[in-house]
Structures are given as structure tokens and as C-alpha cells.
Amino acid sequence: MYHIKRKRLVMPKVENSSWFFVCLLAMTALVLAGCTDMGNAVGTDTSISTPPPQSGQDVSFQSQISPILQRYGCNSCHGGSGGLTVQTVSQLLQGGLHGPSVIAGKADTSGLIKKLLPNPPYGDRMPQGGPYLPDSTIQTIKLWINQGAKNN
């Protein structure tokens, strides 16, 4: 009597934990893939730890904006499987379903900024699921857009 009961109790647990491991492995693989991706471009990034540049100084897409987008995982969801892609300036200008994400010179009306701030006009705040960008980082992106969204 007893050992039959025990079998019934133990078996499903073993199955559950092996599924858990499979999921864990898959997630680890995804995270590692993501990190390798970021590692390549983040090398020269200093924008997160330094205060936003004063207006008058040009914000660089290559060395500041692009690494921010990579660091916050934007590329992992907007990396080219349809809709918005965030690798280049021209892709950002082109945007996604809701039109251009970046409007040069107009940070406040740019979809990218609206989606980074709380209470976006549609859908979720980005990056979906957080962690969200600190204000100073959003300011850096705004400055880059208001300076003309240069591919610099």
C-alpha cells in the first residue's frame, strides 16, 4: 500500500523538475546569447555611467545611443523579425507599425521617447517588462533626436 502511494507522489515531481531544468537551460542559453551580442557593441559605451552631455555637444549614435539600445535589450525584441528594428538610424526613422519612431529634431513627438516614458499612448512602456531607462538616459536620447538624429 505505502510504496504505491509514494510512487504516485514522487514521479510527477521528478518530471516537473526535469522540465524546469530544460527551461532553465533554454533561458540561460538565451541570456548568454544576448550578452555576447551586447558585449560586442558595449565596449566603448560610457554613456550610462556619465552624465548626459550638455547641449552644444553632439550626442553620438554609434558610441552612445546604440549601446543604450543594446544594453536595455531593445535589439533582442526589435532585431529584425518584422516591425521596428533598432540597429541603425534609418531603421529608427522608418519605425514600426505606428510610423516613424524617431522624428529628427522633435524628441517629444517621437514614438521612441513616448514608448520609453511612463504611460505610452499605446501598448507597453519599453523595454517591455523593464527595467526601464533612468531619466538621464532618456534625456540623452532626446538630446540626440533634437540635435537632428544624426548618424554620427
Whichever of 84 and 147 has its CB closer to ligand HEC, that residue is 84
**Residues counted in the chain:** 152
Q: Which of residues 6-45 bind ligand HEC (CB under 6 A)?
A: none
Residue nearest to ligand HEC as judged by C-beta position: 123
65, 78, 89, 143: which one binds ligand HEC (CB under 6 A): 78
Q: Is residue 95 close enough to count as binding ligand HEC by CB under 6 A?
A: yes
Give the shortest CB-107-to-ligand HEC separation in angstroms: 13
The Cα 4–Cα 62 span in angstroms is 65
Q: 3-class secondary structure for 81-117?
A: CCCCCCCCHHHHHHCECCECCCCCCCHHHCHHHHHHC
105, 129, 134, 148: which one binds ligand HEC (CB under 6 A): 129
Residue type, 65: I
The window from 11-19, 42-50, 59-67, 94-102 that contacts ligand HEC (CB under 6 A) reads: 94-102
Is the N-terminal amide bond of 127 cis, ω within 30° of 0? yes
Q: Where are the alpha helices (DSSP H) in the chain?
A: 2-42, 66-71, 74-77, 89-94, 111-116, 135-146
Give the shortest CB-131-to-ligand HEC separation in angstroms: 10
Give the shortest CB-85-to-ligand HEC separation in angstroms: 10
The window from 15-23, 28-36, 45-53, 108-116 that contacts ligand HEC (CB under 6 A) reads: 108-116
Q: How far is CA 25 from CA 18, 20, 28, 34, in A?
A: 11, 9, 5, 14
Residues forming contacts to ligand HEC in the complex (CB under 6 A) are 69, 72-74, 76-78, 84, 86, 95-98, 101, 111-112, 115-116, 122-124, 126-129
